Structure 1
Amino acid sequence: MSGDASFEDGAERPLNLGALDLDDLKVISALVQDAVFPITEMTYDRKARRFVLLINRFRWEDTAKARHAPERVQALLAFDSVLGVATQGLERDDKDTVLSLLTMEWEAGEAPAGKLVLTLAGDGAIRLDCEALDARLKDVTRPYVAPSKQAPRHEA
């Protein structure tokens, strides 16, 4: 049988996680490391104070890696209580740009406020000015075989 795997193949379920503190954020940050997304899949709703990315994340948590090719899954990475968004090193006019998320770090301000910095490959960054840390990660599709058929690697 060929084709994409399903969560059930690995007795796994889609992720649906929230982060309200640094420990939670570290878990989500690890799960979205090396996620890729087109620049067009970033949305900031100022009125709702919500910033959302539709990402294609590598399934680092996949317990069945030995039985099938590496997988990705589309997921929503959403942040609430966002007061403003700034970007650095991004060509927002180039609609063909694909970004790769490396890390997410919280810079505490006057509690509970702070800044959430999403560091991208190639020296790009997205900074969210937040009233409080409020992040969610939710898988929205079935897993699919990673186009590269390899796990992301970083040079030491």
Structure 2
Amino acid sequence: MDLLRLVALDPEDLAVISAHLQDSLLRVGDIVYLRKERRFAIQVRRYDWEADTPQRRLTCMHFEHVKAVRVRGIDQAKKDTVLNLLAIAFDEGDAPSGTATLIFADGGAIQVDLECIEMQMKDIGPVWAAESRPEHKDLEQAERL
């Protein structure tokens, strides 16, 4: 089993990690902001886009040097709600600071204010067959136009 481990130190690195995490599933209860440690972490079930057959992997990711976290459109009290991570975007502030935004299906988002980009993603364990390959019908229709 090949475990993927990536580190992001700039917006380009973060874009690569975002691509690997596209269509990851997670529970609201798998999101943690450790204010004293200035760390924001999530455990996801990552869809492995590089695998020959549809599969998911248990993966953790975390940001360091976190100044603040804001949540929009996600009920944090409903710990078992499943979210679909679509992308991670980055808006630069006064270099090297900025805001990473985790964008979820159905309009939810988490903004993570950072002193600088220092993010890690690591596969940590089991691999299992996925029920299906994620589809993006809106994107596919736009590509045909």
TM-score range, shorter chain: over 0.9
Which residues in structure 2 correspond to 1:59-138 (within 5 Å)?
59-62=48-51, 65=52, 69-138=53-122
Distance change (3 Å), C-alpha of 1:142 and 1:94 = closer
Find out whether 1:33 has 2:22 as its counterpart. yes
- Residue 55 of structure 1 is matched in structure 2 by 44
As a proportion of its length, which structure holds more strand? 2
TM-score (norm 1): 0.86
2:84 and 2:34 mapped to 1: Cα distance?
22
Summarize deviations over 1:109-148 as a string: whole Å, max 9, x none.
Answer: 00110000000010000000100011110000131111x2
2:85 and 2:20 mapped to 1: Cα distance?
11
SS at match of 2:121: strand
Q: Which amino acid aligns with 1:27?
A: V
Find out whether 1:154 has 2:136 as its counterpart. yes
Summarize deviations over 1:46-94 as a string: whole Å, max 9, x none.
Answer: 11110000000000122xx1xxx41100000111111110000011111
- Structure 1 residue runs without a partner (length 5+): 1-6, 8-12
2:24 and 2:127 mapped to 1: Cα distance?
13
- Residue 24 of structure 1 is matched in structure 2 by 13
- Residue 3 of structure 1 is matched in structure 2 by none
SS at match of 1:84: strand
Which structure would you say has the larger Rg? 1
Q: Which amino acid aligns with 1:36?
A: L
1:56 and 1:119 mapped to 2: Cα distance?
16
Share of identical aligned residues, percent? 37
2:45 and 2:137 mapped to 1: Cα distance?
21
- Residue 4 of structure 2 is matched in structure 1 by 15
- Residue 46 of structure 1 is matched in structure 2 by 35
- Structure 2 residue runs without a partner (length 5+): 139-145
Give aligned pairs, total: 138
Q: Which amino acid aligns with 2:133?
A: A
